[in-house]
Structure 1
Amino acid sequence: MTPEALIYDALKHLAGGRVLPDFAPEGPDAPFIVYQVVGGEPINYLTGEQPDKQRVRMQVSVWAGEDRIEASELGAEVEAAIRAATALQPEVASGRIATYDEETRSRGTRQDFYLLC
């Protein structure tokens, strides 16, 4: 499975199932979660063989309308779900960062994880 498929499986039970790759379409109902690969660390072998896993940096953002507490709580639930997903071999790369979108007046959090999968 791809890292994107594995992260979706780990998070699909949150935010009413509104778990989206890359970006949210205009006007999604809050709360929702967005995930995307934002880099990683390639695995290279001297033999030139292709590794069977990849180490990616996955960024996960949550949005919860105008409610900061709900955004923070959902962010904590995301972190707990990713930590529990052993198939991802997760490592928390950063603490949660509070975000705000002026146009939609939505509050959210953003956090990065390293995954080896």
Structure 2
Amino acid sequence: MGSAESVTFGAIKALAGGRVYPDVAPDGAARPYVVYQGVGGVDETTFDGADTLQNSRMQVAVWATTRGEASTIIQQVRAALTAEPVRGVPIGAPVSVFEDDTKLYGSRQDFSIWYQE
């Protein structure tokens, strides 16, 4: 029982030195860090009502001071979220970004995660 957020956090909480946050990192967070958020999913509601098996599309983003570090950590995220017990399915490959304002390198990827509500 739980939520997609709790399942995701449970799988990746040790990455990036434990700097893993929902939605947005706090001001002044040390780098690298990971943020995650739900960005949709598959609705399993039928005429019989909602199912306890739910789906969420979780987006995970890594922010680091180098491209290499961002790429390495997103690979660790993928390994953690596709392994037991989560068995998430990647939706596309990681997307690389650069944030000019902060001079941070980012890598983000979406995952389809099924969980028991």
The two structures have a TM-score, normalised by structure 1, of 0.92
Structure 2 distance, partners of 1:21, 1:13, is 14
The structure where strand makes up a greater share of residues is 2
How far residue 14 of structure 1 moved from its aligned partner, in angstroms, is: 0.6
Structure 1 distance, partners of 2:47, 2:75, is 40
Provide the residue aligned with 1:114 in structure 2.
Answer: 112
Coordinate RMSD, CA, aligned: 1.1
Unpaired stretches in structure 1, ≥5 consecutive residues: none
Local SS of the residue matching 2:45:
coil
Aligned 8 A contact 1:10 1:85 in 2: no
How far residue 53 of structure 1 moved from its aligned partner, in angstroms, is: 1.8
Structure 2 distance, partners of 1:105, 1:47, is 50
Structure 2 distance, partners of 1:36, 1:85, is 20
Structure 1 segments of 4+ aligned residues over 3 angstroms from their partners: none
Structure 1 distance, partners of 2:10, 2:42, is 23
Provide the residue aligned with 2:52 in structure 1.
Answer: 52
* Higher mean displacement: 88-97 or 67-76: 88-97
Unpaired stretches in structure 2, ≥5 consecutive residues: none
Match of 2:64, as an amino acid?
A: A
How far residue 36 of structure 1 moved from its aligned partner, in angstroms, is: 0.1
Structure 2 distance, partners of 1:89, 1:52, is 17
Structure 2 distance, partners of 1:23, 1:73, is 20
Q: Percent identity?
A: 39
How far residue 99 of structure 1 moved from its aligned partner, in angstroms, is: 0.9
Structure 1 distance, partners of 2:84, 2:14, is 13
How far residue 27 of structure 1 moved from its aligned partner, in angstroms, is: 1.7
Provide the residue aligned with 1:36 in structure 2.
Answer: 37
Aligned residues: 114
Q: 1:26 to 1:115 in 2, by over 3 A?
A: same
Provide the residue aligned with 2:103 in structure 1.
Answer: 105
How far residue 103 of structure 1 moved from its aligned partner, in angstroms, is: 0.9
How far residue 55 of structure 1 moved from its aligned partner, in angstroms, is: 0.8
